[in-house]
Every structure is written in structure tokens, then in C-alpha cells.
Structure 1
Amino acid sequence: MVILFLLLALAVLVTGNWYLWRRLFRDTTRGPGRVRRAGAAVIAGGWILAIGALVGERTGAPFWLQQVMAWPGFLWMALSIYLLLAVVAGELVRPLLRRYLDRRAPAPVTAVPRPEPVRSGAVQETRPAERAEATEEPGERPATEAPRDGPATEEPPERPVAVPSRRLFVSRVVGGAAAAAAVATVGYGTYGVLRGPGVKRVTVPLAKLPRAAHGYRIAVVSDIHLGPVLGRGFAQKVVDTINATQPDLIAVVGDLVDGSVKDLGPAAAPLRQLRARHGSFFVTGNHEYFSGAEQWVEEVRRLGLHPLENARTELPWFDLAGVNDIAGESEGQGPDFAKALDDRDTTRACVLLAHQPVQIHDAVKHGVDLQLSGHTHGGQLFPGNLIAAAANPTVAGLDHYGDTQLYVSRGAGAWGPPTRVGAPSDITVIELASKRA
């Protein structure tokens, strides 16, 4: 099954990129040449870098090599998605543009032969050669024959002007518009990630929350994805944004990194500056288990965060619990809801940190009041939200499952392409509200 899936994915990738090359390079040129060869090289080279970046990240390639491949490779991955979408949309425009050009085309002009002048008092006799000349279009008289009424003159031959056919013109207009739209979309989406996440504020009422805790603020940040693209500077922006909200508690709900402590320890160092009245807490995401989860748990502890590995802590007005990510099951470190939530005082409100939204079903069984998650990125690249919706109960925002509420953050960073389209990054400040207030 895995081999069949890989073969199917390869077939789709090759077909899609051949279609891109055809519409953007073959159909917009007159014939084989450098432009078509350059287009094939750009498309093939972009995917070689993209696949190399993915493989290098998972296999622990030298970090400098990951950085060299990541920027162009991941950006090409995003650009190819929107080039393909734009070219497909262009298929709807092509017939409309052709119809418009047909209506605007001038009517054909019929050439009328110019009569020879007749001399006064003479009878005009037309010789066979002259009868043949009378059928020619104006301007088609042989250059070697001089006009009869004047001296012989030689006019320089006019060079033919290469006018593109209507089909070629339409292909160039549609292809150029598709390329411009894709570049603009990816450029703006990348700028949105690199400038740092915005702040989103959400009020969540909890029935068991005491009046004294009304207005309690939890800063939720997920999916920072420090790696070969997003580094220390980005981490500093995230930390500064969180601290500016002056939260009572900070919850880092997984996918902090894409790489080892050795490579990314300096990039994560700004996390030491996080400030909150009741501290900062951390749970693992699936990407931590691709990057050495045990080492990262120790590293975030060294940076001043409190890892909740299937554990619970009692805060003044509610319980805060955290479970490991599902990906930890492959290492014998999966989520253990019983360990984290059994034997607690069920009259107290409980807030659970769990990276993936699908863990909500276990949270409901254990009487959790609010689960805070990430993982989905809100889809990150439209229409990725449709794919994310098929795999997650909630893609982004606040939802209810029985007596349990689930909030899913879109995340602060990005995985793969440092680009977001239709799913802006955020840090969410959850303001707890007491129904007794």
C-alpha cells in the first residue's frame, strides 16, 4: 500500500508539473528553444531542492545544507501550488478572451487593382504580361521591373514583422497573469509569516471557574516550527508578542521545533525571556518526536518552561494538565489521560494542553472543561483547510463537544514553506470567564 501510494503521488506530481510547463513555457513560445529548456530546468530544479529539504530535515543532514535547500525548495513548493491553481483557473478565461478578440478583430480588406493611365489619342492595348500584373496586389510588382512612367527605382525590401497568432497571444496573457498572481500570493503569504504572529483574543466561559479567576489570561502559542528557515529572530518576535499581552499563564502546545537541540538550541534561547505570573508550560507535538523529544523536553526545562508529560499541576483556581502527543506512541511515550487526569477533584475546572485536536474525545471522557490545541495551522495554505478539516474535528477556533470546549490555535509559525494563505498566524490570549461573576 505504501508503494502504491508513493507511485500515485509521483504520477500526480509529474503530471501536474508537465501541465505547468506546457501552459507556462511550451504554449507561450513559438517553438523549441532556450525558454522551454529553462522552464523545464526551473521546475525540475525547484522540486529537487524541495524534496531535498524535506529529506534533509528528517535524516539529520548537516544544518548548513538544510538551510541552503530549505529557502528555495520550500518557497518553490508553495509557488507551484498557486501556479497550478492559477493556471487551472486560467482555463476558464481562455475561451472568453478568444471570443473577445474575435469580436474586436477588423474585417478583411479586399485589394482593388490600380488601372494603368491611358495616354490621350492612343488606343490602350493590354499585353499578356500586363494582364497578369493586373491581378497582383498593390506592392507585389517585381522589384527588377521599373514603372513605365518614370525612372527605375529600387526600394529596400521590408522585413516581415513577427506578429503572434491569436492562440499564442492568449496563452501569453493567461500564463503571465497566472504567474503574477501566484508570485504575489506567495510573496504576501511569506511576508505575513516573517513579520510575526498577530494577537487574537477569545473569551471562554467555564462553569466551574470561581469568581476570583474571572478574566484570567492564558497565552496559547503552538506550531512555532523553529528550523532551517525560521530561526532565533523569529523566536524573539514570538516571545516579545507573548510578553506584550501580559498573560497570567503561557501554554506552548507543541511543534516548537523541526530539528535537533544541537542545531536549534541557539534559536530557541529567547524562550528563556517568557514572563507570566503563573509560569510557562509545554507539551510535545508530533514534530518533537521527529527531532528528539527527550532532549527537547530537557532543553525547554532548562529554558524555564515546565513540561507536562502526562501530568497535572494544581493552580490557585483550576487544574492545568498536559498529555504527550500521539506520535509519542511509537517511542512508548504516548498520551496517558488516566495518569494526567485521574484522582483529581472534579469540582475544580480543568484546562488540558494537548497538541492534536483529535485528542478531544479522550478529554471528554475524562471530564475536561477546556482543551487547548494546535497542529492544524488552520490549513496554512488554502485550500489546505479542506484537507485539515477531513483529518481534525476542529481546524481553528472555539468549539464544543458535550460539556468540553476545544480551542484550536492556527499556530505562530509555519511548516515547510514559510508561507500562509487564508490562515494567518496567531498567538491567542484565552480570557477565562466565570459564570458566577
Structure 2
Amino acid sequence: MVIVFVLVALAVLAAVAGLHWYVWRRLVRDTTAAPGTPRRVGTAVFAAGPVLMVAALVAERAGAPFWLQRTLGWPGFLWMALSLYLLLAVLAGEVVRPLLRKLLERRTRPEPPAVPVPALAGAPTGAPTGVPANTPQPQQAPATEPRPEPRPEPAPPSRRLFVSRVVGGAAATAAVATVGYGTYGVLRGPRVKRVTVPLAKLPRSADGYRIAVVSDIHLGPVLGRGFAQQVVDTINATQPDLIAVVGDLVDGSVKDLGPAAAPLAQLSARHGAYFVTGNHEYFSGAEQWVEEVRRLGLHPLENARTELPGFDLAGVNDVQGESEGHGPDFERALGDRDTARACVLLAHQPVQIHDAVRHGVDLQLSGHTHGGQLWPGNFLAAAANPTVAGLERYGDTQLYVSRGAGAWGPPTRVGAPSDITVIELRSTRA
């Protein structure tokens, strides 16, 4: 097993190195006429970037000292996003490159030589046209001093070099702008999204009940206490009846991230705030985090259920907990409930919808996918999850998947804006 892991890791590192070499070749080597300072600087960037990226990943997963995680996190994870979009932009440039080269060839094609005009018959050779041959010509004054030799003009760059610089510059600009805007979108905080969900079993007395759903906050070396405060303030401003924190709250230990999570104690809703684990909690010490969120005033639902006015609220552990013997137990959470009552289930991963359908759940609230986070990651997320984002129906059960409030790895989102969703339950009997 260890040998297989090592071989896979080596294969991944070789692929990363190969892709970086390809992008370096297009953006650095092909855009510099000869070795010099620009090429050395570009080479240094492309050598340091992947090293920092791998170091940031290893430091976070290995539980390195938190100061080291924070030091490596920003440059390493931002390079992860930037290298992705540099690669995509360079690949797009391969399509443009031959077209631009052909366009330049047409514009610089040499003109045909001029046809000489024949001299008039009878005109003396060497005499200007229309001037008599015996007319005395003016004498030129002798030059008093020699003129300085003109400096040779620098040779223009070759067509191939010019095309490489245009395409490479456009690719780098597009990648930097994409990552910059995507990072700004995360750091400014999630936006509120409102979704109405009709439930057939919901009584009229609970019509209009509002649940604020937040998932995938991912507090860690990059997103800290300030970001948590933004999330809490945004949730509280919606004045929900209930708050559901649907997993992946943190990427790190209680020791390192306890202060960052402290603003969660300010969450305010009429019927309180509830929490279920995500897969990243099991990378970070799930038991300790369950106790920490309880201390902060949230109510953990570990394969458990509670009765609220008008419906049952249940929660199951994440499937990652199976590795520690604390996986989801739908029978324990839902087995003995009154099926005449509406049921809302908190479950981190959308793949848990199939168990929810078998147990007669009316609505499952999930996260986990980040909506793909970095396009075209949404296609990978769609291959691994029944729903990537939004509301869908599976038989008599509806599934809502939030894109999440934060970001894992790069603090960047492209094509998958972060959100906090206010679910408004509507009774079909109203």
C-alpha cells in the first residue's frame, strides 16, 4: 500500500513538473531572445511557485507549526490557482498562435519590384529630362568635414518572437486578472442567496420558516478570524429562524484555530444554530471540534434528531467518519421518527441523498462541492456528486447544495461564487 502511494505521488509530481515546464517554455523561454535577467527572473518564479505549492499542501496536512502553515499558505495556494489559469491560457494561446503568425505573414509580404520607366527617345544619356545637354551643371561645394556614420538600427524581433510575446503577455494578463478577481470575491465575503422550498408535510403554522444554510467556511492558515466574523455578521443580518452549519468549518486543530472560530458564538437565531461534521473535520480532530462548537453555543447533531415547531431536524456524520468508526447512521437519526411530520436533514455530502430518500426525508441540506470552486472544476465535481449546486428533486426528497462560504486551498473562486443561503420553507397547505 505504501509503495502504491509513493508511486502515485511520484507520478503526480512528475505531471506537475511537466506542466510547469511547458508553461515556463511558452511564457519565459519563448518570449526572451537570449539568456538574461528577464529569463532568469521568470525561471526563478516558475521554480519557486510549485515548491511553495507542494510545501503549503504538505504543511497543512501534516500539521506543521501554524506559523509555518500561514507563511506558506498565501503564496503556495495562490500559485496553485495561478498555475491552473496560466496553463489554460497558454493552451488557448496555442489556437491563436498560428492564426496570428499567418496574419503577420500577409501584412509583411514584400511588394513586387517597381517596373523601370524607359527613357524618352533622343534624350542624351545622363542629362535630366527636359534640360539641354549643353547647359552647364552647378558645381557641388567640397565637403569641409566628414559626416558621422549613422548608428545601426537595432534589429526588430523575429516574427516568431513577436508572436510569442503577444500571446504570452495576453495569457499571463488573463490568468492574473482571473485569479485576482476570484480572490477578491472570496475575501469580500459570501453573498446571501434566497431559495423557496415547498414541503407537502409542512403545517401552515411553519409556513415561511427560514433556515440560514452555511457550509465549507474552511477556517485555516489563509481564512481566519476576520473572515469568520464576516460570515457571522452576514448570517445574523438575515434574521433567520434557524442556522445550519453543514460541515467543513475548519482546516486545522482547535489549538490553532480556536481563536479564529470564536465569532461563531455570536450566531443568533430564534431556534438556535446546529452543526454537522464534514470530511475536513475528520482531518482536523472531529471530536475536539464537536466539543468546541458546543462550547460556542452551537448544537451538534451526531446522527441525531430534534423536534422543532412544524418539522423534524436531523443530522448525520460525514462519510469520512467511517474511517474512525463515527460514520453516518441514518437508522439512529431517523429510524423511529413520525413519518407524518416533515423532516429536514443536515448532511455534508450530496452523495448521502440516496440514504435520505430511503428514509423518507423531505429536504436534505448539503455543501461539500464548492460548486466546483475553480472552473472547470465544476465538471469534476459533477462527476463525483449527484448535484453540484442548487435545488434538485430525487423522488419525494429534495436536495439543496450550497456552494459554501469560504474556499479550500486557494482563497479563490472562479465561476462558483460563495454564498450563504436562506431557505424559506413553504407549506403547500397554506
When the two structures are superposed, what TM-score results if normalisation uses the length of structure 1?
Answer: 0.90
Query: Cα offset for 1:44?
Result: 1.8
Query: Cα offset for 1:281?
Result: 0.0
Instruction: Map 1:301-380 onto structure 2 (within 5 A).
Output: 301-380=294-373
**Match in the other structure for 2:249:** 256
Instruction: Map 1:396-411 onto structure 2 (within 5 A).
Output: 396-411=389-404
| Equivalent of 1:17 in 9, 16, 20 | 20
Query: Cα offset for 1:358?
Result: 0.4
- Distance in 2 (CA, whole Å) between partners of 1:178 and 1:266 is 40
| Equivalent of 1:86 in 84, 89, 103 | 89
| Equivalent of 1:200 in 171, 174, 193 | 193
Structure 1: which amino acid aligns with 2:420? Answer: I
Residue by residue over 1:225-284, the C-alpha shift from the partner in whole angstroms, topping out at 9 and shown as x without a partner, is: 001110111001100100111100000000000011111111111101101000000000
Is 1:75 matched with 2:87?
no
Q: Give secondary structure in 1 for the equivalent of 2:410.
A: coil
- Distance in 2 (CA, whole Å) between partners of 1:4 and 1:67 is 29
- Distance in 2 (CA, whole Å) between partners of 1:264 and 1:3 is 31
- Distance in 1 (CA, whole Å) between partners of 2:25 and 2:14 is 16
Structure 1 runs of 4+ aligned residues shifted over 3 Å read 1-4, 108-113, 148-152
| Equivalent of 1:56 in 59, 74, 85 | 59
Residue by residue over 1:283-333, the C-alpha shift from the partner in whole angstroms, topping out at 9 and shown as x without a partner, is: 000000111111110110010000000100011111000000111111111
Residue by residue over 1:118-151, the C-alpha shift from the partner in whole angstroms, topping out at 9 and shown as x without a partner, is: 8x89xxxxxxxxxxxxxxxxxxxxxxxxxx9844
Q: Give secondary structure in 2 for the equivalent of 1:6.
A: helix
**Match in the other structure for 2:31:** 28
Structure 2: which amino acid aligns with 1:171? Answer: S
**Match in the other structure for 2:424:** 431
- Distance in 1 (CA, whole Å) between partners of 2:397 and 2:406 is 27
Instruction: Map 1:120-199 onto structure 2 (within 5 A).
Output: 150-151=142-143, 153-199=146-192
Greater alpha carbon shift after TM alignment, 89-98 vs 385-394: 89-98
Query: Cα offset for 1:201?
Result: 0.5
Is 1:388 matched with 2:391?
no
Q: Give secondary structure in 2 for the equivalent of 1:202.
A: strand
**Match in the other structure for 2:203:** 210
Greater alpha carbon shift after TM alignment, 419-428 vs 60-69: 60-69
**Match in the other structure for 2:120:** none
Q: Give secondary structure in 1 for the equivalent of 2:31.
A: coil
Q: Which runs of 5+ in 1 are unaligned?
A: 122-147
**Match in the other structure for 2:107:** 104
Structure 2: which amino acid aligns with 1:235? Answer: A
Structure 2: which amino acid aligns with 1:284? Answer: T
- Distance in 1 (CA, whole Å) between partners of 2:237 and 2:263 is 15
Residue by residue over 1:178-207, the C-alpha shift from the partner in whole angstroms, topping out at 9 and shown as x without a partner, is: 000000000000000000000011111111
What is the identity percentage for the equivalent residue pairs of Structure 1 and Structure 2? 78
Greater alpha carbon shift after TM alignment, 248-257 vs 27-36: 27-36
Q: Which runs of 5+ in 2 are unaligned?
A: 117-124, 128-132, 135-139
Greater alpha carbon shift after TM alignment, 57-66 vs 378-387: 57-66
**Match in the other structure for 1:38:** 41
Structure 2: which amino acid aligns with 1:398? Answer: L
Query: Cα offset for 1:92?
Result: 1.0
Aligned residues: 409
- Distance in 2 (CA, whole Å) between partners of 1:338 and 1:106 is 78
Aligned-residue Cα RMSD (Å) equals 2.0
**Match in the other structure for 2:220:** 227
When the two structures are superposed, what TM-score results if normalisation uses the length of structure 2?
Answer: 0.91
- Distance in 2 (CA, whole Å) between partners of 1:11 and 1:72 is 21
- Distance in 2 (CA, whole Å) between partners of 1:343 and 1:199 is 35
Q: Give secondary structure in 2 for the equivalent of 1:208.
A: coil
